[in-house]
Structure 1
């Protein structure tokens, strides 16, 4: 039996992985996926519709073909199923805005080696403050990430037929959970706790959905704002636990348990890794983002959430797949 010499292809692809981010972001910036969806199928056609150079259009098509986001047949290109679902502008689950946003974050990776050495951020970009103008871009860009999880949670909880329920969304951002759930249940009402500039964005987006009359906002920081007692039937804590340390998560879960009425439900959505940290792939990679940008955050294990929620007073805890995230339902 002969030993095959390993190929450098995978290593080379990973070393140059930033190319994929750049190609995807540039394609989203020029709405190539939208133009492909509407029938443009050659570099010349895309260049004409996007008002870019034909050479540039062909280069992007080559790159998109290499990373599997377009397909080529008889000289014409078309979106892959994933690109069609998640990169066409104005589709509900479109991540095109998020792709454009991530291009601006690439420079921070240059600090990763030093961040790994010291165990946390080496720069101090103050982003987690209420008056940062970046919220307008980031809140709307990341909203689509929660759309699948919010939809799955509504189905798991049977919210459409739940009648007159009251929802608390802590750090709700764009209000995507409230928007989807209020559309599904015309008798439900929702309250979002977040910073004032973010709540303003959420109110605008829920007005566009036609459900703002049943949506209330509370301006404040969830670390310090009282959630109330026996006030809500459902509470949401989505994509926040990864930026907090264990003690903070236990403290917030405990206050959320107090805010729920008897029989109430907490919905947690986040990038959660297996107990042995063997997967899934995306949450494992996302841990680097938390090392770069937070002092205590990480992608936490299932058993971490289980332990924290039990300490907070929950007894019935289940996990549900919502790729690339995981939903935790606690009662």
Structure 2
């Protein structure tokens, strides 16, 4: 695999793709919720008050407020109080002399605006990529049962790993892992990246059918099938395999809600040996939930199409500690990604 220094930086291309739904969420907030007018009239409010007052679900509201804060439209205080910035007050409040409300309303018929409004109201994800034909209106997770869709998603996740994988490997090269479990690892490209610098180590990818078939094919094509095996299973109903001293979640936790994220971290804690490591590689939100903008935009896509979001560093650190992990740290990599690292106590 090439190192990141040998590849022209594709961060902008990641951001364009990952942020594709973000403008539609802002249109929905301005026009269908009239969020900024409501906050201005209520005065400083809490998330709970916004949720109740506008009948918006907690998860998508959190994504919306993070995106608004990253855009410089919302002040999000550590106390939980929400208020508007001057930019939002002047440009997005309906009765402001400078209001762009009508300007945004002219695009309110975009299909994704309606989809995101429904997600805000119901907390139910929309169809992946807003697909409408060929029986593909099912949610992302359900569509993974379709062989062709699973192959396409696996190839998509594999494509970004060519750049992201080596940077992740460099960030965690000090962890003394001899056996890596890539949980929900898709093609296994991240496990391979970590193993490239550990010639004596081996790896296992845990994936559900039919993604497991695509993973085996891609590993064989790259010549990694002798060092990385694929275990078929459901990461939520089957216990995680034991015998691995590093569990890797690479852009997996962002697909799931809090109960299932906590379940996975607890399952890793149970399966790891004392002193073992858990690594969550992802596009994380800052602990104060005010950015970075690229990850706030990506979180909108995840909110639209999955039951997850981009989790904040603070949230994941809390979940990891609650599971029993210690020595939690954060290491930045490339393309607005990073690795949250935690260790199971030695005793």
TM-score range, shorter chain: 0.5 to 0.7
Matched, 1:184 2:201: no
* Per-residue deviation, residues 216-255 of structure 1 (Å, max 9, x unmatched): 11112111111144x2111111112112122221121011
Using the TM superposition, give the Cα deviation of residue 119 of structure 1 relative to its aligned residue in structure 2, in angstroms.
3.4
SS at match of 2:145: coil
Using the TM superposition, give the Cα deviation of residue 83 of structure 1 relative to its aligned residue in structure 2, in angstroms.
9.7
**Residue correspondence of structure 1 range 106-185 to structure 2 within 5 A:** 108=112, 110-121=114-125, 125-129=138-142, 130-132=144-146, 133-158=148-173, 162=176, 165-185=178-198
Matched, 1:294 2:306: yes
Separation (CA, whole Å) in 1 of partners of 2:270 and 2:260: 16
CA-based RMSD of the aligned residues comes to 3.1
Q: Is the 8 A contact 1:115 1:122 kept in 2?
A: yes
Q: Is the 8 A contact 1:273 1:284 kept in 2?
A: yes
Separation (CA, whole Å) in 2 of partners of 1:122 and 1:150: 29
Q: Which residue of 2 aligns with 1:244?
A: 256
Separation (CA, whole Å) in 2 of partners of 1:302 and 1:162: 23
SS at match of 1:218: strand
* Per-residue deviation, residues 53-98 of structure 1 (Å, max 9, x unmatched): xxxxxxxxxxxxxxxxxxxxxxxxxxxx9995449xxxxxx97xx9
Q: Which residue of 1 aligns with 2:316?
A: 305
Using the TM superposition, give the Cα deviation of residue 114 of structure 1 relative to its aligned residue in structure 2, in angstroms.
3.0
* Per-residue deviation, residues 98-153 of structure 1 (Å, max 9, x unmatched): 96xx89xx965552233223333356614313422212122112223334443233
Q: Is the 8 A contact 1:149 1:327 kept in 2?
A: no
Separation (CA, whole Å) in 1 of partners of 2:260 and 2:154: 23
Using the TM superposition, give the Cα deviation of residue 273 of structure 1 relative to its aligned residue in structure 2, in angstroms.
0.9
SS at match of 2:200: coil
- Figure out how many residues of one structure are paired with residues of the other and give that number: 236
Q: Is the 8 A contact 1:139 1:173 kept in 2?
A: yes
Separation (CA, whole Å) in 1 of partners of 2:198 and 2:329: 23
Shift of the 191–327 alpha-carbon distance from structure 1 to 2, 3 Å rule, reads: same
Using the TM superposition, give the Cα deviation of residue 182 of structure 1 relative to its aligned residue in structure 2, in angstroms.
2.8
Q: Relative contact order, CA 8 A, sep 6+: which one is greater?
A: 2
* Per-residue deviation, residues 284-318 of structure 1 (Å, max 9, x unmatched): 112222322223x1222211011000011111111
Separation (CA, whole Å) in 1 of partners of 2:205 and 2:239: 13
SS at match of 1:236: strand
Separation (CA, whole Å) in 2 of partners of 1:280 and 1:151: 22
Separation (CA, whole Å) in 2 of partners of 1:251 and 1:143: 25
Unaligned runs of at least 5 residues, structure 1: 1-80, 88-93
TM-score (norm 2): 0.60
Using the TM superposition, give the Cα deviation of residue 214 of structure 1 relative to its aligned residue in structure 2, in angstroms.
1.4
Q: 1:285 aligns with which of 294, 297, 320?
A: 297
Q: 2:281 aligns with which of 256, 269, 273?
A: 269
Deviates most, 130-139 or 248-257: 130-139
